[in-house]
Every structure is written in C-alpha cells, then in structure tokens.
Amino acid sequence: MSGRGTLPVPRRAPLALRSTEDLRALQRFMAAALRRRLAPGERMQARWTDGRAMTRVAGEFMKPNDRLTSFERLEIYNRQYWFRLLESFREDAPGLFALLGERRFWRLAEAYLEDCPPHSYTLRDLCAGLASYLRTHPSLTSPLTREAVAVARFEWAQIVAFDGPSRPPVPDERLARSAPGRLRLGIQPYVTLLELDHAVDDYVIAVKQRDGALRSGASNAVARRRKSAAAAAAPELRRERVRLAVHRVDNQVYFKRLDAVEFRLLRALRAGRTLARACEIAFRGSREGVEARAARVQSAFAQWRRLGWICAPGGKGPKGQEKVER
C-alpha cells in the first residue's frame, strides 16, 4: 500500500558500520537519496536537502572508481528507482495517461510516488492509493479531477479483478432453504462495484484499443525511461451515469454494466444486509409490482451465480466501494 506520508530525511550517512542500527541508518540515508526526484535531464539533484552539494554528500559514503564519481554511481540507482516506478505506474494507468496527456501525467506520477513511496513488496499495489490521492490533490488534475478519480478507481478495480481473492460459492440448497429475511450472501472480493459519473468503461476500452496496451514483466535493471507511444487523439470520456461491476470470468477481467436496482441490491448484500432488506433498499421508489420484482431478482441472481459473483458472506469488498444506506 502507498500513502503514509513523507519520511524523515537523514542529514548524513554513518561513517562506520558496527551495528544493525548503523546499517539501518545507512539504508535510510541511501533510500532517501534514491527517492528524491530527478532533476531536469534525468540527472540526480545537485543539492542535498540541507543545501550541501550532492557531490560532497555522495562522496561521504560512496566510493568513486576510475570512470565514475561517487555522485554518478549513486545517480545510477536514483535513476533506476524512478524509471522502474514510473514505468510500472504508466503500465497500470493507461486510461489516466490518455486523459491527462503526457506532461500532466508524468507530473502527477512523480508527485504521487514522491508523496506515497511504495509500502508493498509488490509493484502490483503501486496504484492502490491513487484515487484517494487524486481527491486530496485536485490541483494535479484540475479541471479533470472527477474524471481522473473515476478512471483511477476503474483501473485499480481491474487489478483487483485480475488476481484478487475468491471465496467458495453458496450451495444451491442453502439458497433454496433460507428465508430471505435471514439469508445473508457475500459478493466475491475480486468484484468491485462502481457508480461513476462518466462512461469510463467505454473510455478505457477505446484507449486500450488505441494503445494495444499490454502488461509485461519487469526487468531488474531499467536503463532509461521508456518512450511513450506516439501521442494520438485521446478518446472522448463521455459524461454519463454508469454503474459497473468489474469482475473476472475464467480468470479474464471483464466489466459489466448494472442498472440502478441491480447495483443497489449487490451493494446492500456486500454490506451485509439480508436478502429481504437488500431487496427493500434496491427497489425503494420503484413502481414495479411484487411479481415483477421477484422475477427480476431471480433473473439477476441466476446470472450473478453463473458469473460466480455470489459467495458466502464474510470479509469486506475491495477498497473504494460505494457506501450503502442502513
């Protein structure tokens, strides 16, 4: 997970290493150096946080060799840190890239990664806190903040759908036996329910078709920031109220549009309401008759069970779910 605030920057590295605490101090210092943003020309910054020349600071703890100064040797790691994280961020956010354009996207990426250094052993989690960050830093995406948040939520939901956990399905007999007033059901943890003001599903499909976006494995060494595909006209992100379930079938990621009743029903079930209560919430304000409602619920459930969404209750859904009324 990302986003735990700015870390303290040590003033200097230890001059000797005799204990685990000395080791930690050295590692804190070097990590702080790697996390500092690159200067123009993708070089390491010329000054340390206290104003001292970085050539001097690097020379205090790094050896030079016959070809590279201490500064240049540390710079290799500083560049690799940023190139690797930026590349991963770019791979996970193709829709956001298309929405914001290259310049603003990289400015956002650098700000986010500086403010929220990775707190997970896997780069898969790099964008877990991005939607929240966009909400609290609107200047980075203005005037497209609402759109950017929507796209970021949708893109994170796809990552959850790709490899999120699943729970066993509910047996048919349990569904048949239980009274709706007592029956509580779960929605698979890998399913994310989203209610958005923009048609991000159409948008991201259009972007992926344009970019031929593909995930690829990461290399240990990143020699340079990879060039983005030549800029092409960005698809249009239409303003439209959409309700989506981002999910997987046979381990392929899909997204499915839901109507308002279906969305409220699923959201209420996920929040732990009984089936009867969830139906009340879902149909509030509806003019449908009892029989029509029953038919609709049965039809929806048949489809959701085929898709594997319905499971035993327990646990929470992915982060960023909509709130449900009591």
Partner 1 sequence: MPANRFNGFNDYGIGIGLRVPHYGHILSEKPTVDWFEIISENFMADGGRPLEVLDRILEQYRVVQHGVSLYFGSADRFDRAHLRRLKNLVKRTGTPWLTDHLCWGSVDGTYTHDLLPMPYTFAAAKRTAEKIRYAQDFLGVPICVENVSSYTEYHVSEMTEWEFLSEVVELADCGILLDVNNIYVSSKNHGFNPVDYIDNIPHHRVAQMHIAGHTKFEKYILDTHDHPVLDPVWKLYTRATRLCGVTATLLEWDDRIPSFEEVHDEALKANRYIAEARQAGEVAIGAQRRGRRG
Nearest one of 240, 284, 291 to 263, comparing CA atoms: 284
> In the sheet that 252-257 helps form, which strands lie side by side, from edge to edge?
192-198, 239-249, 252-257
Nearest one of 324, 322, 93, 318 to 192, comparing CA atoms: 318
CB of 197 to partner 1, least distance (A): 29
Cβ nearer to partner 1, comparing 5 with 285:
5
Cβ nearer to partner 1, comparing 44 with 281:
44
- 3-state SS class at 256: strand
CB of 321 to partner 1, least distance (A): 17
Cβ nearer to partner 1, comparing 241 with 316:
316
Contact 13, 58 (CB under 8 A): no
Contact 184, 313 (CB under 8 A): yes
CB of 322 to partner 1, least distance (A): 22
Contact residues toward partner 1 (CB under 8 A) are 4, 7, 14-24, 26-28, 30-31, 34-35, 60-63, 65-68, 70, 72-74, 76-77, 80-81, 84-85, 117-124, 161-166, 189-190, 215-221, 223, 248, 251-252
235 to 139, 246, 253: CA distances (angstroms) = 23, 21, 21
**Alpha-carbon gap, residue 273 to 232, rounded angstroms:** 47
Cβ nearer to partner 1, comparing 120 with 299:
120
Cβ nearer to partner 1, comparing 108 with 311:
311
Cβ nearer to partner 1, comparing 274 with 321:
321
CB of 310 to partner 1, least distance (A): 16
Q: How many other CB atoms are there within 10 angstroms of residue 21's CB atom?
A: 10
CB of 290 to partner 1, least distance (A): 38
CB of 283 to partner 1, least distance (A): 32
CB of 175 to partner 1, least distance (A): 23
Question: Torsion angle, CA of 123/319/244/199, rounded to 10 degrees?
Answer: -70
Return all residues near 237 (Cβ < 8 A) that are at least 6 apart.
99, 147, 151, 198, 199, 200, 203
Cβ nearer to partner 1, comparing 67 with 326:
67
